[in-house]
């Protein structure tokens, strides 16, 4: 513990996303803002993503050589984008007379498991990190990356820099974590799809977790899980405007809940259809075991009898398509046909207010039916309803649902 009792209360973990560091001008803008934070007495710990587009570029390079490859070399490649952005940001800070040190995961003992391309953080040396702050040095930490027990570089899954930030906040027992991004708040829908979506002042951890799980990329799911587990409030706010954004907080702190808080879309879905599959739960257990051991996150699962055999359908994200194909190739008997439906998406509504209300599902499906959008798979929990639809129908679906559930800034329900 530091001798100065006010020290920890002034430490702030601040994460800047890809667009926020997307050009040299923007990197200089972030450095200028950090200089203002320091002048106000804050002690920043900075986490940065790769410059926007860079991780996609790196992924595409690997895919041109082998679209199915997932292994240690993939993580070495895709982690490199953050090395560039933290170095540039540290240079921009130093130009302003601020002592700053770019830090890669191994320097902070950000230890993960060895599930390449979607590793999970196991521990972080919080004291090492605070040591920099105590010496008056601003740590500028590479988001998205870790190291496993054998010192291999790992990555945390797309969007994983958010998770690095919250994990650092947890390691130093900070009460909150600031996530700076290219939107000023969490909205009732992605403003790119629904331009008149409303800003939300507060969102519960639970709702945010559902939104992330359903594909809203505004926050990485693991980051929200970690924040909920450690009670760390997330303040999501704009990199470009100096004003408050959205606080992600425990549910008990939110007084009034609307029926539906947000509509979430995900253009990143692929449905695998297997037919005919053997009857019996043993087959299902073995199949999903195999997928899980490959690190595939299976989302919605349905099974039906077609008259000429059992049909199993499940959805995964596009990033997991290669892993899924590999696992199926190794596991399935030759007579089982596999069809991958790409170009699918998921549209969902989320809200703790749905818990005690009837008729939400009816209104959800009625809205999609009126918009003539066919539904492939369905998933529900007490606070969400989601449907797999064609990806090109997502804007229409989001717009119709925003209207049906009163999620627009203009106009009523
Ligand atoms: P960063 O690079 O800063 O991590 P991301 O692109 O990962 O930023 O996430 C921010 C983006 O999330 C926004 O530009 C927005 O298009 C999208 N988004 C999706 N759903 C929402 C929502 N409900 N509210 C705000 N932004 C959303
Ligand atoms: N650069 C990584 C990605 O594009 C991590 C992140 O941006 O959070 O997925
Ligand atoms: Mg992100």
* End-to-end CA, the chain: 53
Report the pocket of ligand 2 as residue ranges, CB < 6 Å. Answer: 17-18, 49-50, 55, 81, 143-144, 158-162
Whether 413 is covered by a domain: the verdict is no
CB 264 within 8 A of CB 350: yes
pLDDT at 312: 95
User: Mean pLDDT, the chain, as a whole number?
Assistant: 94
- CB count within 10 Å of CB 264 equals 28
Q: Read off the CATH number of the domain in which 270 is found.
A: 3.30.2130.10
CB 348 within 8 A of CB 367: no
290 and 394 in a single domain? The answer is yes
pLDDT in tens, 319-369: 889 889 989 999 999 999 999 999 999 999 999 999 888 899 999 999 999
Whether 296 is covered by a domain: the verdict is yes
281 and 387 in a single domain? The answer is yes
Question: Is 262 touching ligand 1 by the criterion CB < 6 Å?
Answer: yes
5-14, 90-99, 150-159, 403-412: least confident range: 403-412
302 and 170 in a single domain? The answer is no
Whether 370 is covered by a domain: the verdict is yes
2 pLDDT more than 70: no
* pLDDT > 90: percent of the chain: 87
pLDDT at 411: 59
The separation between CA 63 and the C-alpha centre of its own chain, rounded to angstroms, equals: 22
223 pLDDT more than 90: yes
Mean pLDDT of 46-58: 98
3 pLDDT more than 80: no
pLDDT at 5: 66
pLDDT in tens, 18-33: 999 999 999 999 999 9
Pairwise CA distance, residues 307 & 313, whole Å: 16
144 and 274 in a single domain? The answer is no
- CB count within 10 Å of CB 330 equals 9
pLDDT in tens, 88-122: 999 999 999 999 999 999 999 999 999 999 999 99
Domain closes at, from 182, 203, 220: 182
CB 153 within 8 A of CB 210: no
Q: Read off the CATH number of the domain in which 122 is found.
A: 3.40.1160.10
* pLDDT > 70: percent of the chain: 98
Boundaries of domain holding 276: 263-404
Mean pLDDT of 40-47: 98
76 and 176 in a single domain? The answer is yes
Domains of the chain: total: 2
CB 46 within 8 A of CB 139: yes
395 and 270 in a single domain? The answer is yes
177 and 280 in a single domain? The answer is no
Q: What would the two tokens of residue 18 be?
A: 């890809």
Whether 411 is covered by a domain: the verdict is no
Whether 251 is covered by a domain: the verdict is no
Domain closes at, from 164, 182, 200: 182
CB 48 within 8 A of CB 21: yes
Pairwise CA distance, residues 121 & 15, whole Å: 17
pLDDT in tens, 234-278: 999 999 999 999 999 999 898 888 899 999 999 989 999 999 999
Q: pTM of this prediction?
A: 0.92
How close is the Cα of 16 to the center of ligand 2, in Å?
11
CA 391, 116, 235: angle at the middle one, nearest 5? 65
Question: Is 143 touching ligand 1 by the criterion CB < 6 Å?
Answer: no
52 and 172 in a single domain? The answer is yes
1 pLDDT more than 60: no
22 and 169 in a single domain? The answer is yes
pLDDT at 294: 86
Whether 189 is covered by a domain: the verdict is no
Q: What would the two tokens of residue 40 be?
A: 């106000």
pLDDT at 257: 83
**Probe target for ligand 1 pocket from 160, 191, 222, 398, with the most ligand atoms within 8 Å of CB:** 191
Strands (E), 229-354: 233-238, 246-249, 262-277, 301-305, 310-317, 337-350
Mean pLDDT of 142-161: 97
Mean pLDDT of 28-49: 98
Backbone angles phi, psi at 156, to 5 degrees: -100, 10
Domain closes at, from 182, 205, 231: 182
156 and 15 in a single domain? The answer is yes
How close is the Cα of 134 to the center of ligand 2, in Å?
29
């Amino acid at each position: 513990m530091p001798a100065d009792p006010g020290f920890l209360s002034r430490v702030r973990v601040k994460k800047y996303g890809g667009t926020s560091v997307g050009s040299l001008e923007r990197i200089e803008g972030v450095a200028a803002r950090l200089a203002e934070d320091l002048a106000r007495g804050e002690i920043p710990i900075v986490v940065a993503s790769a410059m926007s587009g860079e991780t996609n570029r790196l992924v595409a390079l690997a895919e041109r050589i082998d679209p199915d490859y997932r292994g240690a070399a993939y993580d070495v490649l895709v982690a490199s984008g953050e090395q560039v952005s933290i170095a540039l940001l540290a240079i921009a800070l130093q130009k302003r007379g601020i002592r700053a040190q770019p830090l890669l995961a191994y320097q902070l003992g950000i230890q993960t498991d060895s599930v390449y391309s979607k590793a999970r953080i196991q521990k972080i040396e919080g004291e090492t990190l605070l040591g920099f702050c105590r010496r008056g040095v601003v740590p500028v930490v590479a988001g998205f990356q870790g190291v496993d027990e054998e010192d291999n570089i790992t990555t945390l899954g797309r969007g994983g820099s958010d998770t690095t930030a919250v994990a650092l906040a947890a390691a130093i027992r900070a009460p909150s974590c600031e996530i700076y991004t290219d939107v000023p708040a969490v909205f009732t829908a992605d403003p790119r799809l629904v331009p008149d979506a409303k800003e939300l002042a507060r969102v519960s951890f639970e709702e945010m977790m559902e939104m992330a799980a359903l594909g809203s990329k505004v926050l990485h799911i693991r980051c929200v899980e970690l924040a909920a587990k450690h009670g760390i409030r997330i303040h999501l706010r704009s990199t470009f405007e100096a004003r408050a954004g959205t606080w992600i907080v425990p549910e008990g702190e939110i007084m009034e809940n609307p029926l539906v808080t947000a509509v979430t879309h995900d253009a990143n879905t692929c449905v695998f259809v297997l037919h005919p599959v053997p009857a019996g739960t043993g087959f299902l257990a073995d199949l999903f075991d195999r997928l899980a051991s490959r690190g595939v996150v299976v989302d919605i699962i349905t099974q039906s009898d077609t008259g000429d055999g059992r049909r199993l359908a499940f959805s995964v994200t596009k990033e997991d398509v290669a892993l899924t194909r590999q696992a199926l190739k190794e596991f399935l008997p030759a007579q089982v046909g596999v069809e991958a439906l790409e170009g699918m998406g998921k549209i969902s509504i989320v809200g703790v207010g749905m818990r005690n209300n009837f008729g939400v599902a009816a209104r959800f499906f009625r809205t999609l039916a009126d918009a003539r959008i066919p539904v492939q798979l369905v998933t529900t929990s007490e606070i969400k309803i989601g449907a797999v639809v064609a990806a090109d129908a997502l804007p229409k679906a989001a717009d119709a649902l925003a209207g049906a559930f009163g999620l627009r800034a203009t106009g009523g329900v």
